C-alpha cells in the first residue's frame, strides 16, 4: 500500500500551501480591518443554509483552495456578529488580531495539555500564576484553563461537593451517602449554568436554592442565612454558596464580603461566578465592590470576554489544591508520571478537571497578556464602563426611554416607555419589533432580557472596538425603529378596525 500522509508530498506542495496560508491570513486581517464598514449582523440566506445542509459526506478530497473559496462564500459573511463594534449582545468578546496568530501557533504545535513535561504545560502554569496574582489568591491555590465559566463553575462546585463528601465519609458513595439532601445557594439572578451544574453533580434541580435579591438585583445575605438555617434544621446538607460578580441580566455584583461572612459563620464553601465582572478588579473605582473575591474558596472567570482572547478561554481558581484534585485525580497506570521523557513532570491538569484531551488554551492568553499588558486591559475595562454610563445618560436625557435597572457595571437595560399610561403589551411589541429591526438590518446587536416582568433591551459593553459615536448612532436608530414600529402598529390596528366595521355593517 502507498504511504498515506496529510502533509504535502513535495517542496512544490509545501510552497503552494504556504502561499494559500498567506492569502488566508491577509483575507482574515482585511476582514477585521474592515469590520466597521460591515453590518453588525448578516442573517444567513436560506439558499446558503440549504447549500451547507445538503453537502454530502466527502468521500474524495477536494483542493484546499476550493474548500477555502466555499468558506469565503458560505461562512465568512455570516458570523455571529461579535467582531463588530456595535455588537453588545449577551456578553461576547471580540477577539483580537494577535489572538488569531496565537491560535495558529497553538494549532501548529497541537499539544494535548493533559499533563506531562512540555512547553504547553509550563505556559498554562504561568497563566494560572498570573491569575492568582491578579485575583488575590494565595500562591498555593491551583487553577485550570477551561472552555468558559460553565465548566469552571462545575469544577468549583465539584470541589465543594468533594469537601463535604469527605467530611461525611461519603467519597465512595457520593451524594447518596450524605445524611440529607444536598443544597447549593445562588441568587435568582445567577447564571443558568449553575442549574446544569447542580443536575450534573447529582444535586438535582431542587438542590439549587434560589435566594431573593434586593431592588439593586444583588443577593440578600440575610435571606441567604435564613434559608441555610432552615434547610439544616430540616436535615438537608448545605454544600456551597455561589455569589455572582456581574449578573448576566443587569451586571449586578453580589455583596461578596457580606456573603463571605455568612459562609464563614455557617461553614460553607464560597464559589464566585465572576464570568465577566471579576475582571473589574482592574478598575480602581469598581475594585472595592470585589474585595470579597479574595475570600472565595473558588472563582470562575473568562478571558474571552473583557480580555478579548479568542473563544474559548475561561479559568477556575481553587484556594485548596487538595479540594480541587479530589473529584478528578486518578491512579490509572497509564496516567501516572514517569521519571523522564514527555510523561514526566509534576503538573497533571487531567487531575484538576473532567477533560483528558485539552487544547493549548494557555498560549492565546499568555500571548494576549504579554502583547497588551494589564494596564491596557485596565484602560479597556474603564472604557467599557464609560460606554455603559454614556448610554445611560443618553437614555436619561430622552423622556421616551427609561432605564429598567441600575447601571453599576457594564450592562444597561432599558426600553422605550411611550407616553404615561401606555399599554404594556403594546410597549412590549414595539420594543421587540424595534430590537429585531436593528439586529436584522445589522445596525447594532444588543440582546434582551426581562426586568421585573418587562421586556428590556440589554447592552453589555466589553467591546474594544466600540466608540462613543457608535452608542449615539444606536440610540438614534433605535428611536427611528420605534417610530416605524408604532406607525406599523397603528396601521395594523386601523386595518383591523376597518375589517371589523365592514363585517358588522
Using the 3D structure, point to which of 329, 359, 389 is the last residue of a domain: 359
Cell for 417?
416607555
Give the pLDDT band (50/70/90) at residue 503: very low
474/441 same-domain check: yes
**Who wins on pLDDT, 420 or 243?**
243
**Coil, strand, or helix at residue 134?**
helix
Using the 3D structure, point to which of 359, 391, 420 is the last residue of a domain: 359
| Amino acid 401: pLDDT | 97
* 8 domain-assigned: no
Give the pLDDT band (50/70/90) at residue 504: very low
The mean pLDDT value for 251-261 works out to 98
Which residue range forms the structural domain that includes residue 55? 18-95
Q: What are residue 220's phi and psi, to 5 degrees? A: -90, 105
* 211 domain-assigned: yes
| Amino acid 500: pLDDT | 53
| Burial of 435 (C-beta count, 10 Å sphere; 0-12/13-18/19+) | buried
Q: How many domains does the chain have?
A: 3
Whole-number average pLDDT of the chain? 95
Site of grid cell 444536598:
182
Closest C-alpha among 322, 330, 317, 321 to residue 152: 317
Work out the angle at residue 144's Cα, subtended by the Cα atoms of residues 141 and 150, and round it to the nearest 5 degrees.
Answer: 115
| Amino acid 493: pLDDT | 56
Work out the angle at residue 78's Cα, subtended by the Cα atoms of residues 76 and 83, and round it to the nearest 5 degrees.
Answer: 80
* 3-state SS, one letter per residue, for 35-72: HHHCCCCCCCCHHHHHHHHCCCCCCCCCCHHHHHHHHH
What global pTM score does this model have? 0.94
Q: What is the pLDDT of residues 280-295, one digit of tens each?
A: 999 999 999 999 999 9
211/283 same-domain check: yes
In whole angstroms, what is the distance from residue 90 CA to residue 340 CA? 47
**Who wins on pLDDT, 1 or 149?**
149
CB half-sphere exposure, 495, CA atoms < 13 A: 6
Q: What is the pLDDT of residues 25-63, one digit of tens each?
A: 999 999 999 999 999 999 999 999 999 999 999 999 999
242/289 same-domain check: yes
The mean pLDDT value for 321-344 works out to 88
239/316 same-domain check: yes
| Amino acid 344: pLDDT | 81
- Percentage, residues of the chain above pLDDT 70: 97
Distance, C-alpha 106 to centroid of its chain: 22
The mean pLDDT value for 365-378 works out to 98
- Percentage, residues of the chain above pLDDT 90: 90
Stretch among 247-251, 257-261, 344-348, 436-440 having the lowest mean pLDDT: 344-348
In whole angstroms, what is the distance from residue 271 CA to residue 193 CA? 13
The mean pLDDT value for 450-461 works out to 97
Q: Look at residue 361 and tell me whether its pLDDT is greater than 70.
A: yes
243/339 same-domain check: yes
86/205 same-domain check: no
Closest C-alpha among 138, 81, 459, 62 to residue 297: 138
Q: Look at residue 444 and tell me whether its pLDDT is greater than 70.
A: yes
Q: Look at residue 381 and tell me whether its pLDDT is greater than 90.
A: yes
The mean pLDDT value for 397-423 works out to 94
136/213 same-domain check: yes
The mean pLDDT value for 263-276 works out to 98
* 133 domain-assigned: yes
Q: What is the pLDDT of residues 205-221, one digit of tens each?
A: 999 999 999 999 999 99
Stretch among 68-72, 129-133, 264-268, 341-345 having the lowest mean pLDDT: 341-345
43/150 same-domain check: no
* 276 domain-assigned: yes
> Pairing mode, if any, of strands 208-211 and 269-273?
unpaired
278/394 same-domain check: no
In whole angstroms, what is the distance from residue 383 CA to residue 365 CA? 21
Does an H or E element contain 480, and which? helix 468-504
In whole angstroms, what is the distance from residue 340 CA to residue 334 CA? 15
85/128 same-domain check: no
| Amino acid 422: pLDDT | 87
What CATH number has the domain bearing residue 490?
3.90.1150.170
193/318 same-domain check: yes
Cell for 71?
468558506
* 177 domain-assigned: yes
139/274 same-domain check: yes
* 367 domain-assigned: no
Give the pLDDT band (50/70/90) at residue 338: confident
Q: Look at residue 505 and tell me whether its pLDDT is greater than 60.
A: no
Closest C-alpha among 306, 202, 294, 171 to residue 243: 294
* 365 domain-assigned: no
**Who wins on pLDDT, 277 or 488?**
277
* 317 domain-assigned: yes
Give the pLDDT band (50/70/90) at residue 501: low
Q: What is the pLDDT of residues 2-16, one digit of tens each?
A: 899 999 999 999 999
| Amino acid 456: pLDDT | 98
Amino acid at each position: 500500500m502507498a504511504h498515506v500522509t496529510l502533509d504535502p508530498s513535495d517542496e512544490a506542495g509545501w510552497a503552494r500551501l504556504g502561499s494559500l496560508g498567506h492569502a488566508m491570513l491577509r483575507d482574515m486581517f482585511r476582514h477585521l480591518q474592515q469590520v466597521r464598514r460591515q453590518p453588525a449582523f448578516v442573517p444567513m440566506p436560506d439558499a446558503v443554509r440549504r447549500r451547507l445542509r445538503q453537502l454530502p459526506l466527502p468521500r474524495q478530497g477536494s483542493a484546499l483552495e476550493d474548500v477555502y473559496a466555499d468558506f469565503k462564500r458560505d461562512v465568512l459573511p455570516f458570523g455571529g456578529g461579535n467582531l463588530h463594534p456595535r455588537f453588545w449582545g449577551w456578553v461576547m468578546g471580540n477577539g483580537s488580531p494577535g489572538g488569531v496568530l496565537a491560535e495558529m501557533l497553538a494549532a501548529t504545535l497541537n499539544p494535548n495539555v493533559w499533563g506531562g513535561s512540555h512547553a504547553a504545560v509550563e505556559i498554562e502554569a504561568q497563566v494560572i500564576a498570573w491569575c492568582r496574582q491578579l485575583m488575590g489568591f494565595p500562591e498555593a491555590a491551583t487553577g485550570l484553563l477551561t472552555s468558559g465559566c460553565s465548566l469552571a463553575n462545575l469544577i468549583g462546585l465539584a470541589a465543594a461537593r468533594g469537601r463535604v463528601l469527605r467530611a461525611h465519609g461519603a467519597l465512595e458513595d457520593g451524594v447518596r451517602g450524605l445524611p440529607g439532601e444536598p443544597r447549593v445557594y445562588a441568587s435568582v439572578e445567577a447564571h443558568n449554568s449553575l442549574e446544569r451544574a447542580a443536575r450534573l453533580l447529582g444535586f438535582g434541580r431542587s438542590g439549587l436554592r434560589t435566594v431573593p435579591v434586593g431592588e439593586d438585583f444583588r443577593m440578600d445575605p440575610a435571606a441567604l442565612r435564613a434559608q441555610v438555617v432552615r434547610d439544616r434544621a430540616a436535615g438537608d446538607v448545605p454544600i456551597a454558596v455561589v455569589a455572582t460578580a456581574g449578573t448576566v441580566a443587569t451586571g449586578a455584583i453580589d455583596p461578596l464580603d457580606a456573603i463571605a461572612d455568612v459562609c464563614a459563620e455557617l461553614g460553607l464553601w464560597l464559589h464566585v461566578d465572576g464570568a465577566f465582572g471579576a475582571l473589574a478588579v482592574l478598575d480602581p473605582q469598581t475594585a472595592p465592590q470585589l474585595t470579597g473575591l479574595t475570600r472565595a474558596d473558588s472563582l470562575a472567570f473568562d478571558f474571552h470576554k473583557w480580555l478579548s482572547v479568542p473563544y474559548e478561554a475561561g479559568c477556575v481558581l481553587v484556594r485548596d489544591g487538595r479540594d480541587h484534585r479530589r473529584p478528578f485525580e486518578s491512579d490509572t497506570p497509564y496516567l501516572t508520571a514517569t521519571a523522564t521523557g514527555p510523561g514526566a513532570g509534576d503538573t497533571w491538569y487531567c487531575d484538576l478537571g473532567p477533560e483528558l484531551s485539552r487544547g493549548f488554551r494557555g498560549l492565546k492568553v499568555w500571548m494576549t497578556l504579554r502583547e497588551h499588558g494589564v494596564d491596557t486591559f485596565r484602560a479597556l475595562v474603564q472604557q467599557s464602563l464609560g460606554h455603559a454610563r454614556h448610554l445611560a445618560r443618553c437614555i436619561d436625557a430622552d423622556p421616551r426611554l427609561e432605564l429598567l435597572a441600575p447601571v453599576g457595571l457594564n450592562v444597561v437595560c432599558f426600553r422605550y416607555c411611550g407616553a404615561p399610561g401606555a399599554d404594556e403589551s403594546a410597549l412590549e411589541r414595539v420594543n421587540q419589533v424595534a430590537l429585531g429591526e436593528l439586529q436584522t438590518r445589522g445596525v447594532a446587536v444588543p440582546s434582551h432580557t426581562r426586568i421585573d416582568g418587562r421586556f428590556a433591551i440589554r447592552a453589555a459593553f466589553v467591546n474594544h472596538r466600540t466608540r462613543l459615536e457608535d452608542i449615539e448612532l444606536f440610540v438614534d436608530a433605535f428611536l427611528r425603529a420605534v417610530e416605524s414600529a408604532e406607525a406599523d402598529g397603528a396601521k395594523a390596528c386601523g386595518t383591523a378596525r376597518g375589517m371589523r366595521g365592514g363585517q358588522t355593517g
